[in-house]
A and B are shown apart, each in its own frame.
Chain A
Amino acid sequence: MKIQHESVNMALDPTKILNFSPALRLQWEETQKKHVILYPEGIVELNVPSTEILKLCDGEHNAEQILVELEAKFNQTGLKNDIYGFLEVAIENGWIS
């Protein structure tokens, strides 16, 4: 478990500006009342926090800034593990880079 965690952590450089992949699309689906990621042959449904994180992968924010911004927005602290964890998953899936 521990090893896996460390190796995953290495994938995220918190100072690197993040971009949502130009080959995919993030959009609101009215019939489902949800945001989704669309990619060749697939659909991923997103919850509200994941959507908020991905929207900030806009070529202007890095992981540290996303964290600061969302903690302020939701008036909450201690979100680092959740947010960084999700960003790692997003990088692994090729949604952002």
Chain B
Amino acid sequence: MAGSVNLTITPPRWLLAELTYSCPLQCPYCANPIDFASIKNELGTEDWLRVLTEARAMGAVQLGFSGGEPLTRQDLPVLVKHARELGYFSNLITSGYGMTEAKIVELKEAGLDHIQVSIQSPEKTLNDELAGTESFEHKKEVARLVKKHGYPMVLCVVVHRKNIHQIREILEMATELGADYLEVANTQYYGWAHLNRDQLLPTKEQFEEAEAIAQAYKEKVKGKMKIYYVIPDFYEDRPKACMNGWGTTFLTIAPDGTALPCHSARELPGLVCPNVKDMSIYDIWHHSEAFNHFRGDEWMKEPCRSCPEKTKDFGGCHCQAYLLTGDMHNTDPACSLSPDRERVYEAIFKARNDSESGNVKPLVFRNPKNSKMLA
């Protein structure tokens, strides 16, 4: 017997509130769905307040306000205040664009716990190019202001082939800005990043070199700055335990109120995700088809079904299985036991070809125009 995956439903612990899909930036690795521009009907303030209350009552305690760019929502301070009163530990995940010192102070007074600022590259030209907007100096200024006003400062840099050679400068920039936490996140290939994969996926050598530099730096700054290094799984033998197990810990609410077991789950055809306008958070978590779909191991095919490691990684990421094989029930090809492992080699091969060809494909930027064209 291969053991079985526990079926008891645990309460959600992390709530990700994607307040809006609108964003002044255009990062080509954005995890938002390709068709974001056609998703209308943003939830109103009352609905968000209710979502926060209901999820907190069930046990959610870590809260992320993200998007898009959450600062574009005028009711952000109201939501932050409510979150604090409920006892959440809340994090604003922002590009920094549109942030002012007055806003930083206002949010602090409302009870925001920390701010995560993302920077695209430690070099102005590349940062502005990737963001599709001139934003570099402002982002650095925001990072300093976040520090100045006593928030723990979390800096996030998404890493891919266009900036992976700057890993040393990324680490030094974090130190210079006084970051308390640095998230070096290798791009995960969903949403827009999947679309731009040939242009973004680093080679194995690049990845290994960057990882070695980051690990050494981690030792060096131990006790001063905490580094979270998110690995890409294309060069691993085993997939990530996606979301710590489907429907066990994470709950994402999209801008229109769709409840997602993982922020990419919208991409999965055949998975009908419930909406907070129709169902309570309790019913969504316990009774909806989408949240129960990948709980336990009944859904598994071989080789996962009889694999002793299924209690560790739950078969990997279903969105990746879908994007690479066309069936979300397949073993994630990031696993070397997957019969579709070829798909990963193909992706690596195509990306290498793109980087070595004299005529590199242009990046497709995440903006409403491209979204409408591609959807």
Contact surface of A with B, Cβ cutoff 8 Å: 22-25, 27, 29, 31-32, 36, 38-43, 92, 94
For the side of the interface on B, what is the size category?
Answer: 20 to 34
Given contacts A38-B89, A92-B223, contact A22 B62 (CB under 8 A): no
Check B331 for interface membership: any CB of A closer than 8 A.
no
CB-CB contacts of B55-97 with A at 8 A, as 1s and 0s? 0001101100000000000000000000000010101000000
Instruction: Please determine whether B154 and A40 come into contact, CB atoms closer than 8 angstroms.
Output: yes
Q: Report Cα–Cα, A39/B62, bound state, in Å.
A: 9
Across-interface contacts of A39 in B (CB, < 8 A): 89, 152
Chain A's closest residue to B59 (CB) is A31
CB-CB under 8 A from B11, the residues of chain A are: 31
Q: Closest CB of chain B to A87's CB: distance in Å?
A: 15
Contacts A23-B114, A31-B11; is A38 near B61 (CB within 8 Å)?
Answer: yes
Please give the distance in Å from B42's CB to the nearest CB on chain A.
26
Q: When A and B form their complex, which 8 residue pairs have the shortest distance between CB atoms, in order from nearest?
A: A31-B59, A38-B89, A23-B152, A40-B114, A40-B154, A40-B181, A40-B152, A31-B11
Q: Are A38 and B59 in contact (CB under 8 A)?
A: no
B345 contacts the other chain (CB 8 A)? no
> Which B residues are CB-close (under 8 A) to A25?
89, 113
Give chain B interface residues in 191-228, CB to chain A under 8 Å. 223, 226, 228
B180 CB–A CB distance under 8 Å: yes
Asked whether A32 lies within 8 Å of B152 as measured between CB atoms, the reply is no
> Is the pair B228, A27 in contact by a Cβ cutoff of 8 Å?
no
Question: How far apart are the CA atoms of A47 and B289 in the complex, in Å?
Answer: 36
Q: Is A40 a contact partner of B91 (Cβ separation < 8 A)?
A: yes
Do the beta carbons of A38 and B62 come within 8 Å of each other? yes
On chain A, the residues within 8 Å of B116 by CB distance are 40
List, in ascending order, chain B residues with CB within 8 A of A31's CB.
11, 58-59
Complex contact A41–B181 (CB within 8 A): yes
- Give 1 or 0 for each of B138-153: 1 = CB within 8 Å of chain A CB: 0000000000001110
Q: B110 → chain A, closest Cβ, in Å?
A: 15
Complex interface: chain A residues within 8 A of B183 (CB): 41
Contact A32 B181 (CB under 8 A): no
Contact with A along B171-191 (1 / 0, CB 8 A): 000000000110100000000
Question: Residue among B13, B154, B183 with the most chain A CB within 10 A?
Answer: B13
B87 and A27 contact, CB distance less than 8 A: yes
Kindly identify which residue among A22, A32, A42, A94 contacts B59, using a CB–CB cutoff of 8 Å.
Answer: A32
* B154 near A29: Cβ-Cβ < 8 Å: no
Bound: A22/B152 CA distance, A:
9
* Contacts A23-B180, A40-B152, A43-B61 known; 18 new A-B pairs at CB < 8 A: A22-B150, A23-B150, A23-B152, A24-B152, A25-B89, A27-B87, A29-B61, A31-B11, A38-B61, A39-B152, A40-B113, A40-B180, A40-B181, A41-B62, A41-B181, A41-B228, A94-B223, A94-B226
**A29: B residues at CB distance < 8 A:** 59, 61
Q: Which residues of A contact B114 (CB under 8 A)?
A: 23, 40
User: With A25-B89, A94-B223 known to touch, is A41 a contact of B154 (CB < 8 Å)?
Assistant: yes
A41 to B91, CA, bound (A): 8
Given contacts A25-B113, A41-B228, contact A36 B180 (CB under 8 A): no
A42 and chain B: residue at smallest CB distance = B62
Chain B residues positioned under 8 Å from A38 (CB to CB): 61-62, 89, 113
How far apart sit A39 and B61, CA to CA, in the bound complex (Å)? 11
Shortest C-beta distance, B303 to chain A (Å), equals 32
Task: Give the residue name and chain of the B residue nearest to A11 (CB).
Answer: B223
29 contacts between A and B (CB under 8 A): A22-B150, A23-B151, A23-B152, A23-B180, A24-B152, A25-B89, A25-B113, A27-B87, A29-B59, A31-B58, A31-B59, A32-B59, A38-B62, A38-B113, A40-B114, A40-B116, A40-B152, A40-B154, A40-B181, A41-B91, A41-B181, A41-B183, A41-B228, A42-B62, A43-B13, A43-B62, A92-B223, A94-B223, A94-B226
* Closest beta carbon of chain B to A45's beta carbon, Å: 10
**A residues less than 8 Å from B181 (CB atoms):** 40-41
Min CB distance B115 to A, Å, is 9
- In Å, the complex CA distance between A68 and B116 comes to 41
